[in-house]
Amino acid sequence: MHINKKYLEIGKRLRLLRGKKTQIQFAADIGTTLRAYQHYEYGEREPDSNILKEISAKYGKSIDWILKGEFEVIPCDTADNTIDDKFVNIPRFSDRISAGGGLVPINDVDIKVAFRRDWIKKKGDPKQMSLIAVSGDSMYPTLISGDLVLINHGQNHLDPQGGLYAIALGDVILIKRLQILYPSGKVRITSDNEKYDSFDLLQEEVKINGRVIWFGREL
């Protein structure tokens, strides 16, 4: 059978999710047969929509991540997120989000950081938020390397007024300032550091991972 490169990448991500489980155990978990699952893991075919939904629901990964490896927030159980009625935990990922040339995301949760519940609820659903450290200097002086940014993945559309967003270009995640250009409707992608050039893309070419709504910095 012909091996498709895209399917091989899907297979790698399935092996990552399977972990120490046997193929038989994992296949049973997602409601398919061993042979059907082996087709997926060995890069022989793409999982059908029902299987993708089952994997997404049981393993906390979006279908986009399974198919394309795109960065995503990992939904956390409400009990895990709750400290008390005043505070809520937001997961911090151990990799960094680039404000420079780009980094391939890893998606491992490092620790969780507590925020006041009344403040975070004004910004959106905490289950759709994550914290990631900045790497690079392209957003200097707004952001510097090592800053911790809070990203609301629920705001994955571009506001008409623009703003600071995490975007996916290929397999890397960047923090950039976005602005819609009228009347063309293209998106201008800008770095706050003047030594980096801005560039324009069609709106459909810009995959928005979420909006930056807060940052923190150690002194």
- Architecture of the domain defined by 5-68: Orthogonal Bundle (1.10)
pLDDT of residue 117: 86
Q: CB burial class (10 A; 0-12, 13-18, 19+) of residue 80?
A: exposed
pLDDT in tens, 174-188: 899 999 998 888 999
Residue 166 CA from chain centroid, whole number? 9
* Four-CA torsion 106, 108, 110, 114, nearest 10 degrees: 100
pLDDT in tens, 32-49: 999 999 999 999 999 999
pLDDT at 108 over 60: no
Q: What is the pTM of this model?
A: 0.58
- Please give the mean pLDDT across all residues of the chain: 81
Stretch 44-61: mean pLDDT, rounded? 86
- Architecture of the domain defined by 78-216: Ribbon (2.10)
CA distance 137 to 79: 37
pLDDT at 103 over 50: no
| Beta-ladder partners of 179 | 188
CA distance 34 to 171: 30
Band of pLDDT at residue 83, cut at 50, 70 and 90: very low
pLDDT at 189 over 60: yes
Domain coordinates in residue numbering, the chain: 5-68, 78-216
> At CA 92, angle to CA 17 and CA 143, rounded to 5?
130
Question: What would the two tokens of residue 176 be?
Answer: 């950039």
CA distance 176 to 107: 20
